[in-house]
Amino acid sequence: MEPLLTIGSLTVTAFSVGACLAAFAGCLLLMALTRQTGLDSSVALTAMPLTIGLGVLCGHALYALTRVLIYPLDYERPLAFIFNPALGGFMALGVFAGAWLACLLTASIHHVSIRRLWAALLPALLLVVALIRFCEPLSLLGKGPGVEGGFFPFSYAPEPEYPDDRYVPEFFYAGVYTLCLSVMAARSLSGKRGQKRSALFYFVLYLSGQMFFEVFRQDEYVNATSLITFIRLNQLFAAILLGIIFVAACVRCRTPGKARLILTRSAVLAVSVGACVGLQFFFKKPLPFFGQTVWFANWLVYSLLALTAAGMGWAVLSVLRRCPEKAIR
């Protein structure tokens, strides 16, 4: 893909312009939401540069770390990309981690509640992630499998010269989902209930959404096919984070019948994760079934995968719901 502008060794692409505009939109939303959460605008002003800087840094660091850890055995690549984000990529979960660090720093600088600031920051972050997802085709990313028979709405042709080669728009589905979460998280700030757990609630929904939407994704971006053939790295990280949140919630949960609650939700979580992994083997493969060879329709596998993602989210959220208000930050 041709760069829009080259200044020396620096390159500006349509995708980077989109990412920049998305970050700008996130800044505007953050300004509005800090006021809504009763924080001073100076808090937002501090949070913005810190979030941009640490978000880019951590997003790239996580990407570089995974590439270095996973690919060195079989993929020689100049290591310059580690120290130059322009040569490498980003992972959204790294951006969230950077934003969390920025939140901690800002809160300590201004002596404000971390929970309150994170509640304002998360919708803005989700907005940025959603808008960048919409920009992904500019970077040849976010492409799902080829459409055969028109089951998927909004299919698109990434290469104009081949209008008949249509693909599932994974970037669009994930972008719309993340945008909805951003809107809901922002709206929930006006309600008393939302301020209690809104950020973590919507973050868990984001993670379980990742578990599902990544299934569609076909591009090779941070795809650990050389190490793990049945799951993408984003799914793996999302599953790990869901597990950590679940364990933390279980430890701090104080409710009658806690043991039973944890047992049932753990079972649901384990079955959902297992099914999510197992179902990936059902695509385009014949499977023995009582002596017969059967092919599972893709729509059925996708539907079951959506159920597993929902199961994961429900298991975590149902434990979180029973935690004391200040137990989880």
In angstroms, what is the minimal distance from the CB of 142 to other proteins? Answer: 10
> Rounded distance, CA 254 to CA 260, Å?
12
- Provide φ and ψ at 319, rounded to 5°: -80, -40
Specify the residue, 222 or 315, whose C-beta has the smaller distance to other proteins: 222
- For other proteins, the closer of residues 148 and 220 by Cβ is 220
For tokens 């998927």, what's the residue? 152
Q: Are 182 and 130 contacting, i.e. CB atoms less than 8 angstroms apart? A: yes
Mention every residue, 6+ apart, whose C-beta is less than 8 A from residue 39: 112, 116, 117, 120
CB 298 to other proteins: min, Å: 18
Distance CA 270, CA 276 (A): 10
Nearer to other proteins, 216 or 246 (CB): 216
**Residue among 91 and 249 whose Cβ is closer to other proteins:** 91
Q: Which helix (H) or strand (E) holds 145?
A: strand 143-146
Closest contact distance (angstroms) between CB of 307 and other proteins is 28
Shorter beta-carbon distance to other proteins: residue 49 or 191: 49
Q: What amino acid is encoded at 125 in this protein? A: L
What's the Cα-to-Cα distance from 295 to each of 288, 290, 300, rounded to whole Å? Answer: 9, 13, 11
Instruction: Output the six-digit token pair for 122.
Output: 């998360």
Task: Supply the minimum distance, in Å, between the C-beta of residue 3 and other proteins.
Answer: 7
Helix ranges, the chain (H): 14-36, 41-70, 92-110, 114-135, 170-188, 192-216, 233-252, 258-279, 298-320
| Cβ-based nearer residue to other proteins, 137 or 194 | 137
CB count in 10 Å sphere of residue 251: 10
Smallest gap, in angstroms, from Cβ of residue 287 to other proteins?
18
Smallest separation, CB 209 to other proteins (Å): 22
Nearer residue to other proteins within complex by CB, 87 or 261: 87
Binding site for other proteins (CB under 8 A): 1, 3, 7, 10-17, 19-20, 23-24, 27, 42, 45-46, 48-49, 52-53, 56, 74-77, 81, 85-90, 138-141, 219-221, 223, 225-226
What is the radius of gyration, based on Cα positions, of the chain?
Answer: 21
For 240-249, b/e burial (b = at least 16 CB within 10 A) is ebbeebbebb
Please state the closest distance from residue 274 (CB atom) to other proteins, in A: 25
Closest separation in Å from C-beta 60 to other proteins:
8
Q: Which lies closer to other proteins via its Cβ, residue 88 or residue 243?
A: 88
Q: Name the residue type at position 323.
A: C
User: Which uninterrupted H or E stretch holds 83?
Assistant: none
Q: Which is nearer to other proteins, 188 or 234 (CB)?
A: 234
DSSP state of 229: S
Q: How far is the CB of 244 from other proteins (least distance, A)?
A: 28
